[in-house]
Structure 1
């Protein structure tokens, strides 16, 4: 009788860092160096390199001469991701509405409460973490696996954008208000209201980004 083979270390490292990226635990200023990651897991550089290169090929990371970072997107790419979000996320959130468990709703209430507190404290990192918790909770309840995985795939690419827009005081107030209203709609299992509020949430983030980074005449012409 043979033992069941263990999963390769490179696959374990891939799963760990994919989870860290999707939970927002790796920020835009973090640089992943293979030697440091290898030391963390007490392994050679080879499985680490394989895992990080796989994440790069799948669009979760960028490879540089000094390590791996979250993707550094130009304005055109960011605007296209917002377009993708407008198309996918409202419907996905509506589909998730009926699938949320009581534990999910408890997590959402806690995250919204933390986000509301930042209106007084101004702690943007707390707001970022709360927003990621809200987003991940409803995404993981989406019953359509292909839709869920598609949304998760570009999650890392919008984290740097999210941090920038959350520092906009006007957007801060608007987004927290929409988070509060989204929670109420999810608690009421009102899928139509959830779909509309999620669209407004994405549009508010996009408006903030465009206000902070107005498109140039050259980019409009290209």
Structure 2
């Protein structure tokens, strides 16, 4: 019984930081240090270390000599991730279509409206936030739990890649247009069209990444 409070805090810290990672609140510039997190939760370092090690074992973080960070992906690994996304996300989104609630559709509608406004403002941070809300809403409606958790895990790992591709002006209009079309397909419960649109969305992101990589000094 004496271990219950520690176990409870370990789980609470794990869930808190898992959520922050999945929502994009932790970036590649952030270093998670156990002493700082222990102060945040007013606990010893032990439950913090347990939570951070669990996140590391699950692939959300990697351990360094100066704390825990998001995993660093190499070029080939990023291309492999895009292939994985093409294989999993279109089908997952199709499965989610029938499960979306009216509240989910309202969330999607509001997020797409924010996405559309970025065409005028050019606010990449707002586009990223809207894209994350759209993505997370349909992913959480995927009925296959293992499929859902797999997507959440690798999407957390490639957040920086997504932010870079969203900064690609050439892709901006394409992505917003796909947001609009996906909303219409979700609202009409057209799973086949959702599947096609998600495939196009992933291809657009990959094309943007390759274009940006080609423009860089090491492309």
User: TM-score scaled to structure 2, two decimals?
Assistant: 0.93
SS of 2:68's equivalent in the other structure is: strand
- Deviations 1:161-182 (CA, angstroms, capped at 9, x unpaired): 0011011101111111101110
Larger mean CA deviation between 130-139 and 61-70 belongs to 61-70
Residues paired across the two proteins, number:
214
Q: Does 1:41 align with 2:41?
A: yes
**CA deviation after TM superposition for structure 1 residue 29, in Å:** 2.0
Could you tell me how far apart the structure 2 residues matched to 1:187 and 1:8 are?
39
- Does the 8 A contact of 1:185 with 1:191 survive in 2? yes
**CA deviation after TM superposition for structure 1 residue 20, in Å:** 1.2
Could you tell me how far apart the structure 1 residues matched to 2:17 and 2:109 are?
27
Question: Residue in 1 aligned with 2:53?
Answer: 53
CA RMSD of aligned residues (A): 1.8
Question: Residue in 2 aligned with 1:192?
Answer: 192
Matches within 5 A, 1:65-214: 65-214=65-214
**CA deviation after TM superposition for structure 1 residue 69, in Å:** 1.4
- Deviations 1:114-137 (CA, angstroms, capped at 9, x unpaired): 111111111111111111110000
**CA deviation after TM superposition for structure 1 residue 53, in Å:** 1.4
User: TM-score scaled to structure 1, two decimals?
Assistant: 0.92
**CA deviation after TM superposition for structure 1 residue 27, in Å:** 2.0
Q: Which runs of 5 or more residues in structure 2 are unaligned?
A: none
Give every structure 1 segment of 4 or more consecutive aligned residues whose post-TM-superposition deviation is greater than 3 Å.
none
- Does the 8 A contact of 1:99 with 1:143 survive in 2? yes
Could you tell me how far apart the structure 2 residues matched to 1:77 and 1:209 are?
13
**CA deviation after TM superposition for structure 1 residue 75, in Å:** 0.5
Could you tell me how far apart the structure 1 residues matched to 2:188 and 2:106 are?
14
Could you tell me how far apart the structure 2 residues matched to 1:110 and 1:31 are?
33
- Does the 8 A contact of 1:71 with 1:156 survive in 2? no
Could you tell me how far apart the structure 2 residues matched to 1:198 and 1:129 are?
18
Could you tell me how far apart the structure 1 residues matched to 2:177 and 2:191 are?
18
